[in-house]
Chain A
Amino acid sequence: MQDNAAPAKGQVPLIQTHDLQKLFPVKKGVFGKTVAHVHAVDGVSITIMRGETLGLVGESGCGKTTLGRAILRLTEPTGGKIIFGGKDITSVPLAQLRSLRKRFQIVFQDPYSSLDPRMTVERIIGEGFKIHGPPPSASKNVKFAERERIHQLIEQVGLSHDHLSRLPHEFSGGQKQRIALARALAVEPDFIVLDEPTSALDVSVQAQALNLLKKLQDKFGLTYLFISHDLSVVGHMSDRIAVMYLGKVIELAPTNEFLNNAQHPYTQALIASIPIPDPRMKKDRKGIEGEVPSPIDPPKGCRFNPRCTYVEPICKLKEPPLVDIGNGHLVACHKCTGQACAMEKPA
């Protein structure tokens, strides 16, 4: 399934996935027989444009984190292709992949475990230079060049020089995330996967971190894949938003279109479930019934059918394709065909 959406921000696609798939085997018994598969990512084809922020939302088990990692080949995909900057990197050998890695980086969710507790901040940020070689600099002295660049980076993320000789445990969560960001930026990537970068942070610290991310994106022309379960944050940061459910992308649209005109029943329920910090907005907060299902051997037909209020017989038989309904808005639902979506309120 191809993503034919008109590009939002940048005009040039940086990353494309074709039917990307990641299945995890479930083994049982003494001999480790594979009895089932976890369909973490099950045929995802998206395009991320250079310079844009694509938001990726969904609940636990939807596969958004796995997708982020699969694109970077931090977990190896079990099917499909990844195209980065026009080049197919799906089966590039490990040695070659390592040198390509400086072009795409990741910032993890948990600031407390993503930094080596035994290394100073300077060494943490500078690790990229030890792997890929020193940064380009006027000076011939390698150590000096590295030093200089690290100083530059620490300033860019809003920390100071005397933080460089300290250890991670002396910093707060927000500061640790800045260090992680500096580490990612050191190798001058084009693309950064932000895996729930602010979920572990307090609201006011989160605000600072998000502002910093935006500033750096403008400055360096970075492309972001912003993964989060928090739709308000994603809505603030992204140019386009994609929703995943049980391993598949079920809706993708430019942010405004997404928030004001979501078509998929799951997306609508997701938007309706967000607690709004404003008691005046009383909404229909019924939300969705039922539990978030397990991605092991998902339901037949449309994966959302057991919980959908608009369910029809066809939904249980056939999986709906991702169709373009105009304005760069893609939806995977049987109610949406061609240019319109027919949603009637259930009886």
Chain B
Amino acid sequence: MRLRQGLNDRLISWKVSGGFRQTVVEILERGRRNGMVVIGFSIIATMIALALLAPVLPLADPKELNTDERLLPPSSRHWFGTDNLGQDVFSRVIWGTRVSLAVASLAVCFSLIIGVVLGLTAGYFGGAVDYIIAGTIDLFWTFPAFLLALAFAAALGASLWNVILAISISYWAGFGRLMRGQALTIRERQFVEASRALGATHGRIMFTHVMPNCLAPLIVWASIGVADAITIESSLSFLGAGTPVTTPSWGKMLSMGMINIAEAPWVTTFPGIVLLITILGFNLLGDGLRDVLDPRMKGMRR
């Protein structure tokens, strides 16, 4: 009871402290009522829980090769069966969440930082700076992120960090465009001019005023971005350009299972379904958040 009360108080004080915390509380309050947010969030929470708990769950060693037990169908010992190297599919699927989520979140994180900084600078300053940065954004934007990632990954070699790097470089343009557009709109608002009139420096205005007002679409985009990043990582792994062979990655599992898909469909099916659900979860959350944070929903009209 006291915990609940304390939490409640914390939420109320966060609601009025403006900026990021305010957005979080808004999401919590309104998100609760939105079906997509609830479902999406549940899926993601489950995946995160699995990822975090993987080391402590009673799972078979995902890397244990056991040539005696190759391509066994699902049974009470191996819930999802085994693959062509004798590894337990169920265990690999669960361990795979760590790879997918980690790679995707870090990649989105880096993309976001690059994109936000560049986009904000371009939109806020305009002129020549904008011209150059916007041109760069457009350049990266024209190429499908997946192809770019493939090219970079192939060039850099197969390793987890290279995959993260490859995705970051390919995906930042989306955030850049978003922030640039937002910055262009918000810098025209009167409170920005008021800040200038007070004598604020450009840096102050950008990070204290413009950025916090762009948070809503950024959060939506980030959520969908994670879904995209998971897709890209899986595709890269599927093609062999992603994570190393032994690391449990859903994409890799899909590609390995392709060979025996007729006799042992469970090797591809289970990772495939989990991949689908995870991506769906992030997409739902992103769409739901977009509805929730849409300013048209705020307040009533006179």
A binding-site residues for B, Cβ under 8 Å: 72, 74, 97-102, 105-106, 108, 110, 113-120, 123, 127-128, 130-132, 165-167, 169, 180, 183, 187
Contact B209 A116 (CB under 8 A): yes
Report the separation of the CA atoms of residues A169 and B213 in the bound assembly, to the nearest whole angstrom: 14
Contact B197 A74 (CB under 8 A): yes
Which A-chain residue is minimally distant from B213 (CB atoms)? Answer: A118
Contact B194 A118 (CB under 8 A): no
Contact A120 B16 (CB under 8 A): yes
Number of interface residues, chain B, beta carbon within 8 A: 23
A-B contacts, 29 of them at CB < 8 A, read: A72-B197, A98-B199, A98-B200, A98-B201, A100-B199, A101-B197, A101-B199, A102-B198, A102-B199, A105-B198, A106-B194, A106-B197, A114-B190, A114-B191, A114-B193, A115-B191, A116-B191, A118-B212, A118-B213, A123-B18, A127-B198, A127-B200, A128-B198, A128-B199, A131-B198, A131-B200, A167-B18, A169-B298, A169-B299
Contacts A72-B197, A106-B197, A117-B213 given; does A167 touch B16 at CB 8 Å: yes
Task: Tell me which residues across on chain A come within 8 A of B16, comparing CB atoms.
Answer: 120, 165-167
Among the listed B193, B198, B201, B212, which residue makes an inter-chain contact with A108, where contact means beta carbons less than 8 Å apart? B193
Which B-chain residue is minimally distant from A166 (CB atoms)? Answer: B16
Kindly state whether residue B75 has any CB partner on chain A within 8 Å: no
Contact A183 B190 (CB under 8 A): no
Report the separation of the CA atoms of residues A321 and B71 in the bound assembly, to the nearest whole angstrom: 99
Report the separation of the CA atoms of residues A68 and B185 in the bound assembly, to the nearest whole angstrom: 23
Contacts A74-B196, A74-B197, A131-B204 given; does A118 touch B22 at CB 8 Å: yes
Contact A74 B193 (CB under 8 A): yes
Say what secondary structure dominates the interface of chain B.
Answer: helix
Task: Tell me which residues across on chain B come within 8 A of A97, comparing CB atoms.
Answer: 199
Which A-chain residue is minimally distant from B197 (CB atoms)? Answer: A106
Kindly state whether residue B195 has any CB partner on chain A within 8 Å: yes
Which B-chain residue is minimally distant from A110 (CB atoms)? Answer: B190
Report the separation of the CA atoms of residues A167 and B22 in the bound assembly, to the nearest whole angstrom: 10
Contact A113 B199 (CB under 8 A): no
Contacts A120-B18, A167-B18 given; does A105 touch B197 at CB 8 Å: yes
Task: Tell me which residues across on chain A come within 8 A of B213, comparing CB atoms.
Answer: 116-118
Contacts A113-B190, A131-B204 given; does A119 touch B19 at CB 8 Å: yes
Kindly state whether residue B189 has any CB partner on chain A within 8 Å: yes
Report the separation of the CA atoms of residues A131 and B17 in the bound assembly, to the nearest whole angstrom: 20
Which B-chain residue is minimally distant from A99 (CB atoms)? Answer: B199
Report the separation of the CA atoms of residues A72 and B200 in the bound assembly, to the nearest whole angstrom: 14
Task: Tell me which residues across on chain A come within 8 A of B194, comparing CB atoms.
Answer: 106, 108, 114-115, 180, 183
Task: Tell me which residues across on chain A come within 8 A of B17, comparing CB atoms.
Answer: 120
Report the separation of the CA atoms of residues A30 and B206 in the bound assembly, to the nearest whole angstrom: 31
Task: Tell me which residues across on chain A come within 8 A of B22, comparing CB atoms.
Answer: 118, 167
Task: Tell me which residues across on chain B come within 8 A of A118, comparing CB atoms.
Answer: 18-19, 22, 212-213
Report the separation of the CA atoms of residues A166 and B13 in the bound assembly, to the nearest whole angstrom: 10
Distance (Å) between the CB of B148 and the closest chain A CB? 32
Contacts A116-B209, A116-B213 given; does A187 touch B198 at CB 8 Å: yes
Distance (Å) between the CB of B228 and the closest chain A CB? 28
Report the separation of the CA atoms of residues A113 and B22 in the bound assembly, to the nearest whole angstrom: 19
Report the separation of the CA atoms of residues A130 and B208 in the bound assembly, to the nearest whole angstrom: 11
Task: Tell me which residues across on chain B come within 8 A of A130, comparing CB atoms.
Answer: 204
Per-residue A-contact encoding for B4-42, CB less than 8 Å = 1, 0 else: 000000000000111100100000000000000000000
Residues of B20-68 contacting chain A, CB below 8 A: 22
Report the separation of the CA atoms of residues A180 and B194 in the bound assembly, to the nearest whole angstrom: 9
Report the separation of the CA atoms of residues A63 and B107 in the bound assembly, to the nearest whole angstrom: 51
Report the separation of the CA atoms of residues A72 and B197 in the bound assembly, to the nearest whole angstrom: 8
Interface core residue of B193, B209, B212 (most chain A CB under 10 Å): B193
Among the listed B18, B189, B196, B204, which residue makes an inter-chain contact with A119, where contact means beta carbons less than 8 Å apart? B18
Task: Tell me which residues across on chain A come within 8 A of B19, comparing CB atoms.
Answer: 118-119
Among the listed A100, A113, A132, A167, which residue makes an inter-chain contact with B189, where contact means beta carbons less than 8 Å apart? A113
Task: Tell me which residues across on chain B come within 8 A of A180, comparing CB atoms.
Answer: 194
Interface core residue of A97, A102, A127 (most chain B CB under 10 Å): A127
Distance (Å) between the CB of B242 and the closest chain A CB? 39
Report the separation of the CA atoms of residues A180 and B190 in the bound assembly, to the nearest whole angstrom: 11
Which A-chain residue is minimally distant from B22 (CB atoms)? Answer: A118
Which A-chain residue is minimally distant from B17 (CB atoms)? Answer: A120
Report the separation of the CA atoms of residues A114 and B193 in the bound assembly, to the nearest whole angstrom: 8
**Which 5 residue pairs are nearest across A and B when measured between Cβ atoms?**
A101-B199, A98-B199, A114-B190, A113-B190, A116-B191
Contact A101 B198 (CB under 8 A): yes
Among the listed A120, A127, A166, which residue makes an inter-chain contact with B195, where contact means beta carbons less than 8 Å apart? A127
Report the separation of the CA atoms of residues A309 and B124 in the bound assembly, to the nearest whole angstrom: 48
Report the separation of the CA atoms of residues A166 and B194 in the bound assembly, to the nearest whole angstrom: 19
Report the separation of the CA atoms of residues A123 and B208 in the bound assembly, to the nearest whole angstrom: 11
Residues of B195-245 contacting chain A, CB below 8 A: 195-201, 204, 209, 212-213
Distance (Å) between the CB of A164 and the closest chain B CB? 10
Task: Tell me which residues across on chain A come within 8 A of B209, comparing CB atoms.
Answer: 116
Which A-chain residue is minimally distant from B192 (CB atoms)? Answer: A116
Task: Tell me which residues across on chain A come within 8 A of B201, comparing CB atoms.
Answer: 98, 131
Contact B199 A132 (CB under 8 A): yes
Task: Tell me which residues across on chain A come within 8 A of B199, comparing CB atoms.
Answer: 97-102, 128, 131-132, 187
Task: Tell me which residues across on chain B come within 8 A of A110, comparing CB atoms.
Answer: 190
